[in-house]
Amino acid sequence: MSTEYNGYVTEETIEGTEDGPLAGKTVAIKDNISTEGVPTTCGSAMLEGYVPPYDATVVSRVKEAGGTIPGKTNMDEFGMGTTNETSAFGSVENPAAEGHVPGGSSGGSAAVVAAGDADMALGSDTGGSVRCPAAFCGVVGIKPTYGLVSRYGLVAYANSLEQIGPLAPTVEEAAELLEVIAGPDEHDGTTRDATDHGTDYDFAAAADGDVDGLSIGVPTELVEGADEEVVETFWDAIDELEAQGASYHEVELPSVEHAVEAYYVIAMSEASSNLARFDGVRYGPSPDYEGNWNEEFAKVREEGFGPEVKRRVLLGTYALSAGYQDKYYKKAQDARAWVKQDFDEALSEADVLASPTMPVPPFELGESLDDPLKMYLADANTTPVNLANLPAISVPAGETSDGLPVGLQLVGPAFGEKTIIRAGSALA
- Phi and psi, residue 275, nearest 5°: -90, 5
Bridge partners (DSSP) of residue 422 are none
Residues 6+ apart with CB under 8 A from 186: none
Active site residue 105: yes
Q: Which residues pair with 33 in a beta bridge?
A: 154
- Counting residues that bind other proteins (by CB under 8 A) gives 42
Beta partners for 140?
A: 168
As a whole number of angstroms, the distance between CA 186 and CA 8 comes to 30
Please report the DSSP string for 236-261 in residue order: HHHHHHHHTT-EEEEE--GGGGGHHH
> How many Cα atoms sit within 13 Å of 88 on the Cβ side?
21
Give the nearer residue to other proteins in terms of CB position, either 146 or 248: 146
170 binds other proteins (CB under 8 A): no
CB of 331 to other proteins, least distance (A): 13
- Choose, from 44, 60, 87, 105, the residue flagged as catalytic: 105
**Upstream peptide bond of 150 is cis (omega within 30 degrees of 0):** no
For residue 27, the cross-strand partners are 120
269 touches other proteins by CB under 8 A: yes
Q: Which of 117, 119, 221, 270 binds other proteins (CB under 8 A)?
A: 270
106 binds other proteins (CB under 8 A): no
Which member of 169, 190, 197, 231 binds other proteins (CB under 8 A)?
Answer: 190
Task: Name which of 33 and 414 has its Cβ closer to other proteins.
Answer: 33
Binding mask 344-383 for other proteins (x = CB under 8 A): ----------------------------------------
CA–CA separation, 387 and 380 (whole Å): 12
Q: Which part of the chain contacts other proteins (CB under 8 A), choosing from 109-117, 155-163, 204-212, 407-415?
A: 155-163
Q: What is the DSSP letter of 326?
A: I
Question: Which residues 12-71 are close enough to bind other proteins by CB under 8 A?
Answer: 32-34, 40, 42, 47, 50, 52-54, 56
Q: Which is nearer to other proteins, 265 or 347 (CB)?
A: 265
273 catalytically annotated: no
393 φ, ψ (degrees, to nearest 5): -130, 145
Of 60, 87, 124, 129, the catalytic one is: 129
What is the per-residue DSSP string for 291-305?
S-HHHHHHHHHHHHS
Binding site for other proteins (CB under 8 A): 32-34, 40, 42, 47, 50, 52-54, 56, 151-156, 159-160, 186-190, 269-270, 272-273, 276-277, 279, 281, 283, 293-294, 297, 317, 320-322, 325, 329
Residues annotated catalytic, as ranges = 30, 105, 129
